[in-house]
Structure 1
Amino acid sequence: MRFSVHYSPARIAAVRDVSPTVRLIEIAPEGGALPWTPGAHLNLSLPIGSGVDTRSYSLVGAPDPHVYRIAVKRDPNGRGGSAYMHDCAVGARLSVSEPHNHFSLSWQASDYVLVAGGIGVTPIHSMALALAKRGEKVRLLQAARTRSELAFANEMQGALGTNARFFVSDEGTRIDAAAEVAAMPADAEIYLCGPLSLVDAFRKAWRAAGRPMSRLRSETFGSSGAFAAEPFRVLVPALGVEIEVPADQSMADALASAGVDVMSDCKRGECGLCTVDILACEGEIDHRDVFLSDSERNEGLRMCACVSRVAGGTISIDTGYTPD
């Protein structure tokens, strides 16, 4: 692992809805909250199903010495974390990690463009407020399916004014990635968080424009993919293992439950530690990570077990482990 994660007892201090499906949750850890920087996230250790599992949530707003604030979208087709968090009442106890940041601002650009899709607004929210407070040149593009799902839109507009633009799918407005990239200053940096389709559209437009990839930083969420989550079968020939991965469980977790060791760290499709070799596949590989390059995805030789899935079939993999 890249770092050790330490958990401390905490309680839910306050909750409020910021959209019909998104709830803002304040978490008060024992001993107070640690400092953090825009783009950071927390790990929560939650009782889900018959066991305990980890979920990561971006921190929103500005750092507070007393509480951490996260915003959680309830996903009826998710793996149980969002439902658990939405059902938590004030006073509920849980375990929380210290903040970690793999999606930080450089603080070196002359212009910043922030792009948020759906619940991807959570890390973008803290970035927008911090950049505006420091008087940086920053523009926001925020998209959602309905206007009511534009979480934190009023706060963003209050901080950025006309530099905040909003796009609503059911009103017929969508972000044109190519046009937005073409309009950006040559030395701009872009920060993206949202569904994989949105992130991929900007990555392709950025690359096509010949802009340096070092100035594009992105984060996505494991629930986003080209296909709806469905059960699929995984074979590990070297270990003689055959398992069914449920629609609400990751391949990595299903393998672990079957006694198959798969290294992992971020569980967000970012670090690549959980990549496994693909031996054969009947069905479509749904790459949901941001670690593999486009060419690596097209080769179809590896996939990130923590978030990626298979649509409509069976996959044979090699985890790199052999029996003792």
Structure 2
Amino acid sequence: MRFQDNWSPATLVSTRDLAPGIREFTLRPDDYPCAPYALGSHIKVGVLVGGQPDVRSYSLVGEAEPQGYRIAVRLAEDSRGGSRYLWSLQRGAHLDVTSPTSLLQVDWQRPQYCLVAGGIGITPLLGVAQALTRKGADVSLHYAVRSRREAAYVEELAALLGNRLTVYAADEQQRLDLGRLFNGLSSGATVLFCGPMRMLDAARSAWSACGRAPTDLSYETFGSSGRLASEPFKVRLRGSGEEIVVPRDRSMLDVLNAAGHEIMADCRRGECGVCTVDVVDIAGEIDHRDVFFSEAQKHENRKLCACVSRAHGVVTIDTLERADAL
């Protein structure tokens, strides 16, 4: 497996509100301090949802600090319960966390770095901006938010980057034109992106239209984001015809496993493809929320990542024919 989870108990040592609906949590594992973690790292946090244990993944904010791990959590309106649980905790609360893991690759030899964040996607990029600035790199950050009052860490970023930070506030009719931005980059420039799925789709499309190499666009997204609102849907199993309802606050992966169908999984972020299941039929629409499959594969609707993707209606799947996805 790509991910080896090393869990340890931790204490919530502090919280602070960054913006309306966004709260920062500082978690100190019992075995802290630990070695500095890679840029763009995330940790998994044990939560309780409906009284049952569950796991959520959060990007670490900034570079390693002696106080502990910092995460910023948006209290999502369509939350599956993880953000509500964390927001209910008080200082001194105990919970379990994993060691940091990073999938965001930073090539330190590039002539120019362009960081692009959408909303809470700023969290993994703050540490990247800190490290690149310290190294004297040519770096800029483009930050798209619904409003300036919801722009977490904007003061810290402004002090760090000065006029190399550009904030695009939707309520001020400011729009981030990704095509124009990418066309203006120098040859050999690289983009590091983190934001919701729709914004990632737009970024990949604009990047390709500019004739840039796909490997020069690195990205992370949050698996809870999708094109469609989360709502209950049905999963029908080919062969048995059994139908299972997936509530709006649980993943298909967790519901299938709870029903005894043993779907393998690894990252639980829609990145590794281990939890892929075959789609036999769809009466409705699939909301692919992964970054594992290409746009063409998603359009075919032949497979989906059970850890993050959802549906509207009824999706018929086969959990057995999965060897080619592993």
Place the TM-score, normalised by the shorter chain, in its bin.
over 0.9
Residue 76 of structure 1, CA deviation = 3.0
Letter in 2 for 1:174: R
Q: Distance in 2 between matches of 1:152 and 1:39?
A: 16
Q: Percent identity?
A: 43
Question: 3-state SS of the aligned residue for 2:102?
Answer: coil
- Judge which range, 237-246 or 174-183, deviates more: 237-246
Q: What are the superposed Cα offsets for residues 206-227 of structure 1, whole Å, 9 maximum, x if unpaired?
A: 1111111111111111221111
Residue 171 of structure 1, CA deviation = 1.0
Question: 3-state SS of the aligned residue for 1:63?
Answer: coil
Q: Name the structure 2 match of 1:7.
A: 7
1:302–1:207 CA distance, 2 compared to 1 (3 A): same
Q: What are the superposed Cα offsets for residues 143-199 of structure 1, whole Å, 9 maximum, x if unpaired?
A: 111111110011111111111000011111111111111111121110111111111
Question: 3-state SS of the aligned residue for 1:253?
Answer: helix
Query: Would the aligned equivalents of 1:33 and 1:68 in 2 still touch at CA under 8 Å?
Result: no
Q: Distance in 2 between matches of 1:302 and 1:186?
A: 36
Residue 319 of structure 1, CA deviation = 1.1
Q: Name the structure 1 match of 2:276.
A: 275
> 1:118-129 residue pairs with structure 2 within 5 A?
118-129=119-130
Q: Distance in 2 between matches of 1:47 and 1:282?
A: 32
Point out where structure 2 has 5 or more consecutive residues left out of the alignment. none
Letter in 2 for 1:289: D
Question: 3-state SS of the aligned residue for 2:273?
Answer: coil
> 1:54-93 residue pairs with structure 2 within 5 A?
54-93=55-94
Q: Distance in 2 between matches of 1:305 and 1:123?
A: 24
Question: 3-state SS of the aligned residue for 2:8?
Answer: strand
> TM-score, normalized by length of structure 2?
0.95
Letter in 2 for 1:236: L
Q: Name the structure 1 match of 2:167.
A: 166
> 1:1-324 residue pairs with structure 2 within 5 A?
1-34=1-34, 35-311=36-312, 313-320=313-320
Letter in 1 for 2:54: D
Q: What are the superposed Cα offsets for residues 72-113 of structure 1, whole Å, 9 maximum, x if unpaired?
A: 111132111111111111100011111111113222211111
Query: Would the aligned equivalents of 2:277 and 2:321 in 1 still touch at CA under 8 Å?
Result: no
Residue 284 of structure 1, CA deviation = 1.2
Question: 3-state SS of the aligned residue for 2:19?
Answer: coil
Query: Would the aligned equivalents of 2:44 and 2:98 in 1 still touch at CA under 8 Å?
Result: yes
Letter in 2 for 1:41: H
Question: 3-state SS of the aligned residue for 1:53?
Answer: strand
Letter in 2 for 1:218: Y
Question: 3-state SS of the aligned residue for 1:282?
Answer: strand
Q: Distance in 2 between matches of 1:3 and 1:281?
A: 31
Query: Would the aligned equivalents of 2:275 and 2:307 in 1 still touch at CA under 8 Å?
Result: yes
Q: What are the superposed Cα offsets for residues 200-244 of structure 1, whole Å, 9 maximum, x if unpaired?
A: 111011111111111111111122111111111101123443101
Question: 3-state SS of the aligned residue for 2:101?
Answer: coil
Residue 321 of structure 1, CA deviation = 6.7
- Judge which range, 292-301 or 233-242, deviates more: 233-242
- Judge which range, 105-114 or 198-207, deviates more: 105-114
Residue 48 of structure 1, CA deviation = 2.1
Question: 3-state SS of the aligned residue for 2:206?
Answer: helix
Question: 3-state SS of the aligned residue for 1:206?
Answer: helix
Residue 133 of structure 1, CA deviation = 1.4
Aligned pairs, how many? 321
Q: Distance in 1 between matches of 2:139 and 2:247?
A: 42
Q: Distance in 2 between matches of 1:142 and 1:181?
A: 14
Query: Would the aligned equivalents of 1:60 and 1:125 in 2 still touch at CA under 8 Å?
Result: yes
Letter in 2 for 1:57: Y
Letter in 2 for 1:21: G
Residue 66 of structure 1, CA deviation = 4.0
Q: Distance in 1 between matches of 2:10 and 2:287?
A: 36
Question: 3-state SS of the aligned residue for 2:79?
Answer: coil
Letter in 2 for 1:302: K
* CA-atom RMSD in angstroms: 1.4
Query: Would the aligned equivalents of 1:76 and 1:83 in 2 still touch at CA under 8 Å?
Result: no
